[in-house]
Structure 1
Amino acid sequence: MLRRFDSETTLSWVLSGLAGMTGATAFTHSSGYFVTFMTGNTERAVLGYFTEAPQLALASLSLIAAFLVGVVVASLLRRHLWKRHPHGASVLTTAALVLSTMIDLEVNGWTGREVTFTPILLISFGMGALNVSFVRNGEVSIPLSYVTGTLVKLGQGIERHISGGGVFEWLGYALVYLSFLVGAVVGGILAVVTSGAQLLLATTVVCALVSTYTYFHIDRAQAEVG
């Protein structure tokens, strides 16, 4: 197992958990906004106009746009600036979380329960960027917050295992999914006992620590090997 799961694979579990925790932060301390579930946002953007909720539809469109911009900006930085730091996208996510925390503290204070929409937009931007953490041949190889895709790959891996393959055909995808689930549970538990700003700050600290370790240790080690 150790030969098959290297440091990059382990990092994918950590970042998937971070995505789950961040998604829980936005969902539990807002009007139920999704920052990791663009399928749901797309349906809301369309169906909001049929259910007399145009404001929700517009908000969903804005979250989709912010997520997309995060992907584009992180991809540009990866191509032109982070050539020796393939996982540098987490730095951009950290910056977005720092800014969202500062804005929420200014607007709602340390004890305010709700996180306003502007910080949620920044979080969605950060989630888009985070999904560019793992790229192979110019395409995302591990979509951290795309749980539907992870489950499809998990199902395909189970089929390959049944048809004669090994456990590693599906185990990696199962662990990515489990990490996202654990992150969401941790975020949900913290949401019960913290305010919006407090949970945002906790998420920001976790993201900053992971980004620092990734940027200065994992990326450097991979650059030396390469």
Structure 2
Amino acid sequence: MDTIADKESRLSWVLAGLAGLVGAAAFTQTGGYFVTFMTGNAERGALGFLQGRPWMATAALLLTLSFVSGVVVASLCRRHFWVNHPHGATVLTTGALAIATVVDLFMAGWDAPQLNFVPIIFVAFGIGALNTSFCKNGEVSIPLSYVTGTLVKMGQGIERHISGGPITAWLGYFLLYAAFFVGAVAGGIISLIITNPQMLLVATVISAATTIYTYSSADRSGVLG
């Protein structure tokens, strides 16, 4: 159980919660755009054109492209600029959310009922960058918003536990999933109270606080380095 609750695990729960919160904010404030669910965007991209809904397909593909761009940019920065500063991924996420907030304020104003699509492109970029927070040997070791993969690993761990393995075979994946779920619930609750750029601003502030936490818990201790 000690390995499940180590510093890296606790940090992964915080960042997964952030991913869930931001994903929920984007989904609820746009009428259904995904910034964490790239499987859904792939299906929308494929089916949108077949169903005569080219805008839906185009939007899904643009969000996917932005997400992948966030991964690429964060990975390049990690390799060349912040080798010893693993909180850099959350800095990129916070920056992307801040840009999204400013763009939406400019496009729609403070009290608009929903987010525009353009700011969501920046949000998807930020989530892509966030997923590079945990890397080992140049590969992502803990994908924060890839819930499908987390559940598959959890299911395999449950089988190992049933077959005589330790509870740690699946409990860590369950806690990661639970953190994402709690973050999504929190984002949904907040979205019932405030709307549009107000929600983006709250997400930016929370992301900035998470960046500070990542710096203090990861950079100083070398957890992610």
* TM superposition score category, shorter chain reference: over 0.9
Contact 1:70 1:129 in 2 (8 A): yes
What is the CA deviation profile of residues 149-201 of structure 1, one whole-angstrom value per residue up to 9, with x for unaligned ones? 00001001111111111111111100110011111111111111111111111
Tell me what 2:134 maps to.
134
Tell me what 2:43 maps to.
43
What is the CA deviation profile of residues 116-157 of structure 1, one whole-angstrom value per residue up to 9, with x for unaligned ones? 111100000001000000111211111100010000010011
Shift of 1:216: 4.1
* 1:45 counterpart letter in structure 2: G
Alignment of 1:134-213 (within 5 A): 134-213=134-213
* 1:10 counterpart letter in structure 2: R
Tell me what 1:103 maps to.
103
RMSD: 1.5
What is the distance in 2 between the residues matched to 1:137 and 1:68?
19
User: Unpaired segments of 5 or more residues in structure 1?
Assistant: none
Q: Provide the secondary structure at the position in 2 that maps to 1:222.
A: coil
Shift of 1:4: 4.1
What is the distance in 2 between the residues matched to 1:147 and 1:221?
27
Tell me what 1:25 maps to.
25
What is the CA deviation profile of residues 76-127 of structure 1, one whole-angstrom value per residue up to 9, with x for unaligned ones? 0011111111242111000000110111112222221211111100000001
Tell me what 2:76 maps to.
76
What is the distance in 2 between the residues matched to 1:24 and 1:217?
26
User: Unpaired segments of 5 or more residues in structure 2?
Assistant: none
CA 1:3–1:144 in 2, change beyond 3 Å: closer, same or farther?
closer
What is the distance in 2 between the residues matched to 1:113 and 1:172?
38
What is the distance in 1 between the residues matched to 2:3 and 2:37?
33
What is the distance in 1 between the residues matched to 2:218 and 2:68?
26
Q: Provide the secondary structure at the position in 2 that maps to 1:189.
A: helix
Contact 2:63 2:124 in 1 (8 A): yes
* 1:55 counterpart letter in structure 2: W
Task: Provide TM-score, normalisation by structure 2.
Answer: 0.96
* 2:98 counterpart letter in structure 1: V
- Greater CA deviation, 22-31 or 1-10? 1-10
Contact 1:87 1:215 in 2 (8 A): yes
The aligned length equals 225
Tell me what 1:94 maps to.
94
Task: Provide TM-score, normalisation by structure 1.
Answer: 0.95
What is the distance in 2 between the residues matched to 1:144 and 1:161?
23
Q: Provide the secondary structure at the position in 2 that maps to 1:175.
A: helix
What is the distance in 2 between the residues matched to 1:10 and 1:4?
8
* 1:85 counterpart letter in structure 2: H
What is the distance in 1 between the residues matched to 2:209 and 2:152?
31
What is the distance in 1 between the residues matched to 2:196 and 2:21?
13
Contact 2:7 2:217 in 1 (8 A): no
What is the distance in 2 between the residues matched to 1:221 and 1:89?
17
Tell me what 1:62 maps to.
62
Shift of 1:2: 3.6
